[in-house]
């Protein structure tokens, strides 16, 4: 019989939000963004505003639907019913295990600063990535409290090198290094939504506190507080870190660097500072991988409890961990990692980023719309109907805009993955009727 899992508090829950957001994105995204130019800074500002809006929606929702895990799935289902709830769970679940492959690639990019062979030896690269995925699958099988301890430690350690770059990097900043506004040859109007969609990857995780809500102490108070606090911290780190980095490294170096923050650290403090920042980047990715592997099992468990996912996803071990979902998620992450073995590290990361963003934007879209519906149906808006409508509409519009900014092939593959969920939904409903 499964034991009741111990619950996590504000520090651990906030660390889950910060740790899941500051992972692969901030340490490798500048390399992907450099080829677009300094228009990327506007992308960060726009995305930050959108992320804060979405964080507020999730924060408010967690006060309405209390002590129920599932986050995006639970909130979408509350407004739109079973079918949309299932598609959101399906899409978000996909985004989680695809993202874990991207995080593993980012960790390898950071470690390549110490071991350059990781950049050129695909067998070694993939073997290390698979090893990390399965190590943290084992860690998470020990329980949410144990996973939470690792999350707190790695979150503190990942913020240290970023603070070093932001504070000391200002003294090495040069406008001569700053890239031109738009390097793509396309119009600003066409380039801006692409950059906005790409930067959104670094904000995936704003909803992390809402997904294991049943395992959080006093969730009505802690979940919304952790959601907003974590998002604000991350927003400041992202914008300041990218601006400083653009002023330290020339664009021709930045766009091809698998570890741009480590390169900046080397300029600031020499070889040892570079090692310190590279180690911090690796630790950052490790913390994010640990947190997202936790999430990849929690969401399908919430859906399985509502008979929206197969029953096996709610099976728990003696530590109260949904171990079947944990294993299946890691198997799928491993497959994604193996699919991109022949590409360059930055190219692999960019593809995974785009696919993950799209798979997650659809849930954000429906959660924003559901927020308006639920508050109106429950008459919780009272005299703040306009405020409720504006907040939900802004979240919906932002998500729609970011989908528009995704590349055509990413949109195709992303929506194909979502459509593949429909036969599974039909099968689940058929089994419900038979039983």
Domain of 165, CATH number, reads 1.20.1740.10
What mean pLDDT do residues 70-95 have? 89
Residue from 301, 357, 296, 307 nearest 332 by CA: 296
The range of the structural domain enclosing residue 332 comes to 10-428
Q: How many domains does the chain have?
A: 1
Taking residues 181-185, report their average pLDDT. 85
Q: What are residue 216's DSSP bridge partners? A: 8
pLDDT at 1: 45
Q: How confident is the model at residue 173 (pLDDT cuts 50, 70, 90)?
A: confident
State the pLDDT at residue 2.
47
pLDDT at 201 over 60: yes
Q: What is the pLDDT of residue 267?
A: 87
Residue 222's pLDDT band, with cuts at 50, 70 and 90, is: very high
Rounded to an integer, what distance in angstroms lies between the CA atom of residue 76 and that of residue 74? 6
Distance in angstroms (rounded) separating the CA atoms of residues 49 and 54: 9
Residue 209 lies in a domain: yes
What does the DSSP 8-state code read for residue 8?
A: B
In this predicted structure, the answer to whether residue 343 has a pLDDT above a threshold of 60 is no
What is residue 260's DSSP assignment?
A: H
pLDDT at 285: 85
The answer on pLDDT for 24 being more than 70 is no
pLDDT in tens, 315-339: 888 888 899 999 999 999 898 888 7
- pTM value is 0.84
Q: Taking the chain, what is the end-to-end CA distance rounded to the nearest angstrom?
A: 25
Whether 365 is covered by a domain: the verdict is yes
Quick check: is 157 in a domain? yes
Q: Provide, rounded to the nearest whole percent, the portion of the chain with pLDDT above 70.
A: 90
Rounded distance between C-alpha atoms, residue 84 and residue 78, angstroms = 10
Q: Could you tell me which residue, 224 or 409, shows the higher pLDDT?
A: 224
Q: In the predicted model, what is the mean pLDDT of residues 390-402?
A: 88
pLDDT tens track for 146-172:
888 899 999 998 888 888 888 888 888
- Mapped to the 3 state alphabet, what secondary structure does 84-118 carry? HHHHHHHHHHHHHHHHHHHHHHHHHHHHCCCCHHH
Tell me what the mean pLDDT of segment 46-75 comes to.
90
Share of the chain above pLDDT 90, in %: 20
Within-domain flag for 98: yes
- Once rounded to an integer, what is the mean pLDDT over residues 34-40? 85
What is the rounded CA–CA span in Å between residue 435 and residue 431?
6
Q: Is the pLDDT of residue 5 over 60?
A: no
**Bigger pLDDT: 198 vs 376:** 376
- Binning pLDDT at 50, 70 and 90, where does residue 115 land? confident
Q: What dihedral do alpha carbons 360, 364, 370, 375 form, nearest 10°? A: 140
pLDDT of 407 above 80: no
Q: What is the DSSP track for 367-415?
A: HHHHHHHHHHHTT--TT-HHHHHHHHHHHHHHHHHHHHHS-HHHHHHHH
- Determine the pLDDT at residue 344: 54
102 found inside a domain: yes
In a domain, 433, yes or no: no
């Amino acid at each position: 019989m499964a034991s009741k899992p111990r619950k996590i508090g504000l520090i651990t829950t906030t660390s889950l939000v910060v740790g899941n957001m500051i992972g692969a994105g901030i340490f490798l995204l500048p390399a992907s963004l450099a080829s677009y130019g300094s228009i990327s800074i506007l992308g960060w500002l726009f995305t930050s505003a959108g992320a804060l809006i979405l964080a507020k929606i999730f924060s408010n929702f967690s006060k309405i639907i209390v002590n129920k895990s599932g986050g995006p799935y639970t909130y979408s289902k509350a407004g739109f019913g079973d079918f949309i709830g299932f598609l959101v769970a399906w899409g978000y679940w996909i985004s989680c295990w695809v993202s874990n492959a991207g995080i593993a690639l980012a960790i390898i990019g950071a470690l390549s600063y110490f071991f350059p062979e990781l950049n050129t030896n695909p067998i070694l690269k993939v073997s290390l990535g698979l090893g990390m995925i399965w190590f943290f699958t084992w860690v998470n099988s020990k329980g949410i409290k144990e996973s939470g301890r690792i999350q707190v430690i790695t979150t503190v350690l990942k913020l240290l090198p970023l603070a070093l770059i932001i504070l000391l990097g200002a003294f090495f900043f040069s406008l001569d290094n700053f890239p031109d506004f738009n390097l793509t040859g396309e119009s600003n109007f066409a380039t801006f939504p692409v950059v906005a969609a790409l930067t959104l990857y670094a904000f995936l995780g704003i909803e992390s506190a809402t997904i294991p809500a049943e395992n959080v102490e006093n969730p009505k108070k802690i979940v919304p507080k952790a959601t907003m606090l974590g998002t604000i911290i991350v927003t400041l780190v992202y914008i300041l870190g990218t601006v400083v980095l653009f002023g330290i490294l020339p664009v021709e170096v930045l766009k091809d660097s698998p570890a741009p923050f480590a390169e900046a650290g080397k300029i600031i403090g020499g070889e040892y500072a570079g090692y310190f920042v590279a180690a911090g980047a690796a630790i950052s990715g490790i913390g994010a991988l640990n947190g997202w592997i936790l999430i990849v099992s929690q969401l399908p468990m919430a859906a399985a409890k509502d008979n929206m996912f197969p029953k096996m996803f709610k099976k728990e071990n003696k530590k109260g961990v949904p171990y079947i979902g944990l294993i299946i998620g890691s198997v799928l992450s491993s497959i994604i990692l193996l699919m991109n073995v022949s590409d360059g590290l930055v190219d692999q990361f960019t593809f995974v980023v785009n696919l993950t963003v799209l798979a997650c934007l659809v849930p954000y879209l429906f959660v924003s719309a559901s927020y308006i519906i639920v508050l109106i149906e429950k008459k919780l808006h009272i005299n703040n109907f306009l405020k409720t409508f504006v907040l939900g509409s802004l979240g919906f519009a932002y998500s729609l805009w970011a989908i528009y900014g995704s590349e055509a092939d990413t949109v195709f593959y992303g929506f194909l993955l979502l459509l593949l969920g429909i036969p599974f939904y039909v099968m689940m409903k058929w089994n419900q009727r038979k039983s």
